[in-house]
Amino acid sequence: MRKKSEKKLKINYKKFSLFLLVSAFLIYSVITISSQFFKLNKYKEISNEYKEQISEAKEENQRLQEEFSQVGTDEYLQNVAREELGLIKADERVFVDLTK
C-alpha cells in the first residue's frame, strides 16, 4: 500500500513541477509581451512626433525657398522696405491709428 501512495506522490510531484514550470513560463511570456506592447506604443508616438516635425520642417523649407526665389525682385524689395524698415513712397500718406 505504501508503494502505491509513494508512486502517486511521485507522479503528483512531477505533475506539480510541470504545472509550476508551465505557469512560470506563461507569466513570463505575458509580462514580456505586455511590456513590449507598451514600448511599441511609446515608439509609435515618438515616431508620429518626428513625422510631424519633419512635415513642419518641409513646409518651412518650401516657404523659405519661395521667399528666396523672390529676393531679387522689385516687389520683394518694396515689401522689405515697407514692413521692416518702415519706408514709404514719396506720394503715399501714412495713417496712424492712435486707439491701439
Q: What is the pTM of this model?
A: 0.53
Yes or no: say if 81 and 87 are a contact pair by the CB < 8 Å rule: yes
Does residue 15 lie within any of the structural domains?
yes
Using CA atoms, how far residue 85 sits from 39, 66, 67, in Å, is: 52, 22, 18
Higher pLDDT, 13 or 9: 13
DSSP string, 54-92: HHHHHHHHHHHHHHHHTTTSHHHHHHHHHHTT----TT-
Does residue 91 lie within any of the structural domains?
no
Does residue 26 lie within any of the structural domains?
yes
Q: What does the pLDDT read at residue 15?
A: 86
Count of structural domains within the chain: 1
Question: Can you give the residue range of the structural domain that contains 52?
Answer: 2-83
Does residue 100 lie within any of the structural domains?
no
Q: Which residue matches cell numbers 496712424?
A: 96
Residue type, 14: K
CA-based R_g, the chain, Å: 38
- Give 43-89 pLDDT, tens digit per residue: 999 999 999 999 999 999 999 999 888 888 888 888 888 888 877 88
Q: Can you read off the three cell numbers belonging to residue 33?
A: 509581451
